[in-house]
Structure 1
């Protein structure tokens, strides 16, 4: 009987379908995966060839990835069960080696509840735009509904629902907008506010004018009167822009005040003359007027405001709104009255005429007294870097003074280092407040 070949024999394995292999096929075989038996004192073979794959069929490591790709630390829920650390146990040969610890950083990483808070990343963003502020939504719809009636022979008389403009000169950025109020949009009435932005001159000697006017309420030609008021003051300032720009750079406050007072009187006087030519009552064909002069010289930060009538002048400085609307009296003893009229009494209280309390008929040799008019308002101020100056008509000035939430909203929107774009500025100025439905016209200046 021949000996069986050694376990490491490299010869071919016997095949039972060949003759002479029947005896070899009947021999018992070792179970697969077991090494050949040897004596305890025999050394192991030098290079034993494994009969099967020595790697285990199952991975002894946990099936859950210790470094998951998703966020393992939600903000509210506790840690997942697979990430909960196991209690300490007695190490044995079957336990895998401890895994290294790594720190995951990036925008998707959220700190665990017991970790210290991380510092804020990046600048604070302004609040999102809103449709309205206050106690509730306004009564009217937010978008225009009815168009004003049109005359086929007077199409130039039509007024757009909204106008928008902007510019940048020197160290200031201008944004201006005028829009119909909710009430006018609902009733199909034209916009009574008018806006004019114009530049006179070139280079550093140029002068930028922003003029806005509001026609009388409940009058058919209110929008025409407002447009004429802006055009008249625009012509007057444009013809005198060189002298005005020089006075602004030189700081001649007295010359500016008296000169602009005369230009305003002439412009509104021509408006009253136009009403007389049309056969309309001058009190009905009237308008308020508010103007702002901005020199294009980057070395000059003087901003000049002047006008007649209701509205508002505000300044956003260091995160707080300041109402800087000039008063009817600039200083004690200097009453500011419009159109060259004399005061009724002196600062000491003495009447300029003796009033005996006896009614007298008007003299046929003297013209009838004109009704009292709004005082002329003037203010020249020096801007600081970071300031935001806002001039507006009564449609925006009244809600700013009456609704603190609107001031807070605009503070968050306009306190950034740069001016908003035209679309963003329009969205901010048309934020509605319940109870205020008039036309809105606003011009804001951001100082670099």
Structure 2
């Protein structure tokens, strides 16, 4: 294309890339007026242009004659004999109603041999676009605009919907399921029973006084524990009473849960102690009682666990009686160290022994002092507290060497020739005892023992005095706890604590309860 000028070509010059001087030209023009316009007219005629364009042009070495309906011959450059307007479909810019164009190859000049035709490249037939299937509108898409009759581009006739294959999946998203009906609201859990609420607030108000040098003697307001062994689930809680919370007094109840051994031979001990009322250091005596009975049981746990699995009730009763007596002996010795009366530094003690063997359902209770032992079976409470004989029934005959001087037969053999009275038969002299004007004080609390076999679904409840008294005096409290534990499933720790804290007017002492749920 040197005839168009010598414009240099650069990388960014599109004109230079289009008309590059280094590119091979199609050949010299046959006429001196070969310009861009002439070539454009020739190309338009070749592609079937209108009547107003020149009809004959000659390019290159091969000349084709194009005959049109007005007998005007146009020569064009086409080296592909198999490609022409007659052998291809009309292009997108061509009018379907244009003139028919036929193309016949022109003979090559005799002076120059005709070049070999290049292999033809078939033009692919146009593919008609597939009809669009209307897509259902998704829930989040806005609705289509309303039809405007004044809009000429609007088509009031909706396109026909394509038939849907019944085997194909539904393209529409599934409708959301209807919301479930609201669950009935659970019944509100009451915090007290009776016609009126208790006098004190249900939450702690004041803390006990503390000594900087005796911080180890402080006790927490609430203790909560639990475990699961064999066929039972254990729940234990001890909390300060309403009156002690109000006055800032320490909790007098003590709770100990301990496991000795491992495997089926393990033994679980739960001890509950309550210090004497209106005495200084009552919480300390209760803690000592739990600690000392725990040590005694722990040192003998192997023999105790074996006796429980074997059902030796006689051996258990006598052995546990000795361990309990030793505990109270230590309490009296501790009171002497503190310079206090034994009645001031003492506590009631109640214990449960539970085997970890799944095949053993024997539950052993023992202790001294007040409290409660209950069993919930078939929705009804049973009071399992062992019967305590009257004091007169356990005093027996006068003991030699104590009280008034015996008279009657045999009295001479119990005195020396000088008239001194013998103590037993050990020949040890003792001065006559003082005259007792007041009645003899009652003996200490008797030892309590009970061994029972649990059934599936039973709930055993061991309590201190603070919960045993309202359970026996307020039937509504027992009914409420029975309703809460009716399904036989052990409650969680927090739920169990709320159950034990169910209050009743007139009962504001510390509460400690140990529950055993049988599977």
**1:381 positional shift:** 0.2
**Mapped contact 1:310–1:393 kept (Cα < 8 A):** yes
- Correspondence for 2:509: 438
1:177 to 207, 229, 237: 237
Q: Which residue of 1 aligns with 2:252?
A: 192
Q: 1:423 and 1:394 mapped to 2: Cα distance?
A: 22
SS at match of 1:437: coil
SS of equivalent residue, structure 1 residue 149 = coil
Whether 2:346 is the aligned partner of 1:286: answer yes
User: Any idea what SS the aligned residue of 1:284 has?
Assistant: coil
Residues 114-162 of structure 1: CA deviation (Å, up to 9, x unaligned): xxxxxxx9xx998542211112100000100010000000000111000
In the alignment, which residue of structure 1 is the partner of 2:219? 159
Q: Deviations over 1:321-350 (max 9, x none)?
A: 111111115xxxxx9x8xxx99324xxxxx
1:211 aligns with 2:274: no
**Cα-to-partner distance string for 1:386-437 (whole Å, 9 max, x where unaligned):** 0000000010000101111111110111122321000000000001100000
**1-side partners of 2:480 and 2:306: how far apart?**
38
C-alpha separation in 2, matches of 1:126 and 1:404: 24
| SS at 2:332 equivalent | helix
How many residue pairs were aligned? 318
Distance, in Å, in 1 between the alignment partners of 2:267 and 2:276 is 29
Determine which of 438, 461, 470 is the counterpart of 1:399: 470
Please state how far the C-alpha of 1:358 moved relative to its aligned partner: 8.0
Does residue 447 (structure 1) correspond to residue 518 (structure 2)? The answer is: yes
Q: Tell me the distance in 1 between the aligned counterparts of 2:238 and 2:491.
A: 16
1:308 is the counterpart of 2:359: no
Contact 2:193 2:504 in 1 (8 A): yes
Q: Which residue of 2 aligns with 1:409?
A: 480
How far 1:370 sits from its partner (Å)?
Answer: 7.1
Paired with 1:261 and 1:370, the residues of 2 have a C-alpha distance of: 22
Sort the Cα spacing of 1:154 and 1:396 in 2 relative to 1 into closer, same or farther, 3 A. Answer: same
Counterpart among 310, 314, 330 of residue 270 in structure 1: 330
Partner of 1:385: 456
Q: Secondary structure at the match of 2:314?
A: helix
2:382 pairs with 1:327: no
Give the corresponding residue for 2:181.
108
Equivalent-residue separation in structure 2 for 1:438 and 1:418 (angstroms): 28
CA RMSD across the alignment: 3.0
Q: Distance in 1 between matches of 2:188 and 2:310?
A: 42
- Partners of 2:319 and 2:516 in 1: CA distance: 24
Which one of 188, 201, 208 corresponds to residue 148 of structure 1? 208
| Aligned-partner Cα distance in 1 for 2:264–2:250 | 38
Identify the residue that residue 189 of structure 2 maps to in structure 1. Answer: 129
Query: Contact 2:254–2:272 at 8 Å: present in 1 too?
Result: yes
Q: Say yes or no: does 1:425 pair with 2:496.
A: yes
Gapped regions of structure 2 (runs ≥ 5): 1-154, 158-176, 407-429
With 128-137 and 431-440 compared, the bigger mean Cα shift is at: 128-137
Q: How does 1:348-367 map to 2 (within 5 A)?
A: 364=431
Unaligned 5+ residue runs, structure 1? Answer: 1-51, 55-103, 110-120, 330-334, 346-350
Aligned-partner Cα distance in 2 for 1:238–1:280: 29
* Separation (CA, whole Å) in 1 of partners of 2:369 and 2:350: 8
Q: Tell me by how many angstroms 1:239 deviates.
A: 0.4
Q: Indicate which of 371, 392, 395 corresponds to 1:344.
A: 395
Q: In the alignment, does 2:302 pair up with 1:242? A: yes
The 8 Å contact of residues 312 and 397 in structure 1, kept in 2 or not, is answered as yes
1:353 is displaced (CA, Å) by 7.2
TM-score where L is the length of structure 1: 0.66
